[in-house]
Structure 1
Amino acid sequence: MTLSANVVPRLSSHYVFRWEESQAAYILLYPEGLIKLNGSAGEILKRCDGQRNVAGIVTDLQTAFPGNTDAISRSTQAFIDLAQDKGWLQA
């Protein structure tokens, strides 16, 4: 399901998001284990703080990583939709 640009995603209460030095990556901890995230996923999830809507997250990423704004928009939306489908995010 595609979330609209006005939706404000936040991490599900079943997960803990943090930087793990030993993994040199952002991770999602949950009772059964952990998920090691790639750099892009970590940058997106750290912005899913319950304060910004999807459009704001995309804008912030486009500012932080200038370049192909269309690709950033598409990949951010795709990841947020996937993360919600997996239950990592709530809207």
Structure 2
Amino acid sequence: MTGAWKPVLRRSSVLRHDRVRGTDLLVLPERVVVLRGNAGSVLRLCDGAHDVDAIVAELSRRHPGAPVADEVPGFLGRLREEGLLV
């Protein structure tokens, strides 16, 4: 899942930080998804301007040594399959 796809959150969803829980939330009309780890920082880069390769590059810069290239494309692909990203 690399290349020209420039993921963006679907129109009806909002990414918010819950200060009480200390975590990021993806708020949808029908549910709330509690995001774990760095999922929120990944989704903040899903703005329609960054393609998957650029997202991986930015996260690799922020988190040297992390398996970003192995994990992020699959994560984004799963969110796309669930209809959370377009």
Q: TM-score scaled by structure 1?
A: 0.87
Unaligned 5+ runs, structure 1:
none
C-alpha displacement of 1:32: 2.0
Question: Secondary structure of 1:10's match?
Answer: coil
Higher strand share: 1
Q: Where do 1:1-91 residues align within 5 Å? A: 3-68=1-66, 71-90=67-86
Q: TM-score scaled by structure 2?
A: 0.92
Identity %: 28
Structure 1 moving runs of 4+ over 3 Å: none
C-alpha displacement of 1:22: 1.6
Q: Provide the alpha-carbon RMSD of the alignment.
A: 1.1
2: distance between equivalents of 1:7 and 1:14?
A: 20
Deviation sequence 1:13-68 (CA, Å, 0-9, x none): 12111111122111011112211001221121111011100000000000000014
2: distance between equivalents of 1:22 and 1:30?
A: 19
Count of matched residue pairs: 86
> Contact 2:42 / 2:55 at 8 angstroms: preserved in 1?
yes
